[in-house]
Amino acid sequence: MTQDVQTSRRSGGRAARQALRSAPLAENIRPVRPGMTGGRYKPLTEAEVQRIHHAALDALEQIGLSQAPQSGIDYMVAAGAILGDDGRLRFPRALVEDMLAKAARGITLHGRDPRHDMKLEGQRVYYGTAGAAVHLVDFESRTYRDSTVQDLFDAARIVDRLDNVHFFQRCMVARDIPDNFEMDLNTIYACCAGTTKHVGTSFSEPGFVQPMFEFIHALAGGEDKWRARPFISNSNCFVVPPMKFATESCETMETCIRNGMPVLLLSAGQAGATAPAPIAGAIVQAVAECLAGVVYVNSISPGYPAIFGTWPFVSDLRTGAMSGGSGEQALLTAGCAQMHAFYGLPGGAAAGIADAKLPDMQAGWEQMNSNVLAGLSGLNMVYEAVGMHASLLGFSLESLILGDDMLGQAQRCVRGIEVTEDTLSLEVMRQVCIGGPGHYLGSDQTLSLMQTEYIYPALGDRTSPKEWAEIGKPDLVAKAIARKHEILASPVPAMFDSAHDADLRARFPIRLKKH
């Protein structure tokens, strides 16, 4: 056989395999998909989980939390909490256990499109954005600038096109809108106009919340439609660590509950600063604070959909600065996920944060490290998984796009290894090794599993150095920039129809330009 024929057959086979990989797959046989089950990684032993649980109960019973609004005090005292002379609410063990029994499990976070509904049960894993970055990382000029409502809309549009980013929580602050009420309203509009995936947001002041629901009902097409499928959740920092309620955020939470909006009970202490420095101690405080949130929510509305948001961060103890990209952060998040599983509650925490300022090698190891551990630990909602740089101060659209490839690989780790009679492959080995070709390249098993067992990067490069040179030595970030421009130049499928959008703009102060 001549070299030309051998080369032709090899290239023809490669082309056939590439064509097979490019064919669309049904959702149920894709190699990775939203809501796969994790939980095989357990950084804590069962005895250690129990010790953390009992320490958290001790903290609630002996230390308690201060600064609840009077409405919250009334709800929780009526349920069995004890208000001390020092103004702190303390929570007897029996009360916490009773409220845990009432707490919602198996909740659904809806998308505007039902295809994007997320069932938070067991240890099903979903990845998405979050945060309040005040800068956009402009990679093309390698600068940081104030983020705008247009940037937020662009991020939502990109997420809408990314298979491995499952929800869109507000990731940037619209700093070009100085009025806080209008900023909150336009944040919701930009997110929902950009994607039909589930959206998370926050509110600047409690007084804004009830009027904001008039706008949300208009987005949904009526209050009845909103309550049937609430597609926005409230990210609520209801505590100010250590062990204090955030009075205004609690008032916001109460209004959200009255209006049927799911809430993320977010405790965001910083180890060594506003939380104990040991990883175990930071988990204890976060768990205690979120258990207080469980009592709060269920004293208002038993079984209300709430996410157990233990969200502690790590400090670089040399400087006191946040270190979201550290190995300690990855462990902290995984430990929190294990506690969520212990309680059987839908849970969320932070991963994927880069301390690096640009999407470079440092960002790659920082983002992948915590995202993989979060998924393997079975964290339901992995917030801040993509796009976040400079310890949450900057958001990068290029990094968001590259992160889709990263999360595909992370989810393949979450999926794990299937061991069955077929995958053990003894019969295939027999056919190949005894009278067969001596390799598996053309076997029916290999061809059938190319798409369902393996995931391939959309932008990541796997060519040889020779092939890489022949195709012009493509640069990864340059490819992300090109993909960004391609998405942002295309139509916006999630945008409200023209009549609906015109009505919204006539009734509310929409600042985002028409698209």
355-to-296, 333, 352, 482 alpha-carbon distances in Å: 34, 16, 10, 25
> Residue 12 has what pLDDT?
52
Query: In sequence order, which residues have a C-beta less than 8 Å from that of residue 484 and are 6 or more positions away?
Result: 158, 397, 398, 401
> Residue 13 has what pLDDT?
57
Burial class of 360 by CB neighbour count within 10 A (0 to 12, 13 to 18, 19+): middle
> Residue 19 has what pLDDT?
59
Closest CA to 374 of 430, 287, 460, 311: 311
Q: What pLDDT tens digit does each residue of the chain (515 aa) get?
A: 444 544 444 455 556 555 555 566 777 788 999 999 999 999 999 999 999 999 999 999 999 999 999 999 999 999 999 999 999 999 999 999 999 999 999 999 999 999 999 999 999 999 999 999 999 999 889 999 999 999 999 999 999 999 999 999 999 999 999 999 999 999 999 999 999 999 999 999 999 999 999 999 999 999 999 999 999 999 999 999 999 999 999 999 999 999 999 999 999 999 999 999 999 999 999 999 999 999 999 999 999 999 999 999 998 888 888 899 999 999 999 999 999 999 999 999 999 999 999 999 999 999 999 999 999 999 999 999 999 999 999 999 999 999 999 999 999 999 999 999 999 999 999 999 999 999 999 899 998 898 899 999 999 999 999 999 999 999 999 999 999 999 999 999 999 999 999 999 999 999 999 87
Closest CA to 336 of 379, 382, 371, 306: 379
Span 42-69, pLDDT tens digits: 999 999 999 999 999 999 999 999 999 9
Q: How many CB atoms lie within 10 A of CB 11?
A: 10
> Residue 499 has what pLDDT?
97
251-to-185, 189, 244 alpha-carbon distances in Å: 18, 23, 14
d(Cα 184, Cα 201) in Å, to the nearest integer?
Answer: 8
Query: CATH second-level architecture of 100-415?
Result: Alpha-Beta Barrel (3.20)
d(Cα 248, Cα 10) in Å, to the nearest integer?
Answer: 66
67 near 83, Cβ under 8 Å?
Answer: no
How far the first Cα of the chain sits from its last, in Å, is 59
401-to-164, 273, 387, 446 alpha-carbon distances in Å: 10, 33, 8, 30
Give long-range contacts, CB 8 A cutoff, 24+ apart: 76-82.
76/295, 76/296, 76/299, 78/299, 79/295, 79/298, 79/299, 81/295, 81/299
Q: Where are the domains positioned within the chain?
A: 100-415
Task: Count CA atoms within 13 Å of residue 330 on its CB side.
Answer: 17
Tokens 């801040």, residue?
A: 384
> Residue 102 has what pLDDT?
98
User: How many residues are listed for the chain in this entry?
Assistant: 515
> Residue 9 has what pLDDT?
47
Q: Which helix (H) or strand (E) holds 359?
A: none
**Encoded tokens for 16:** 């056939």
> Residue 26 has what pLDDT?
78
155 near 400, Cβ under 8 Å?
Answer: yes
Span 143-172, pLDDT tens digits: 999 999 999 999 999 999 999 999 999 999
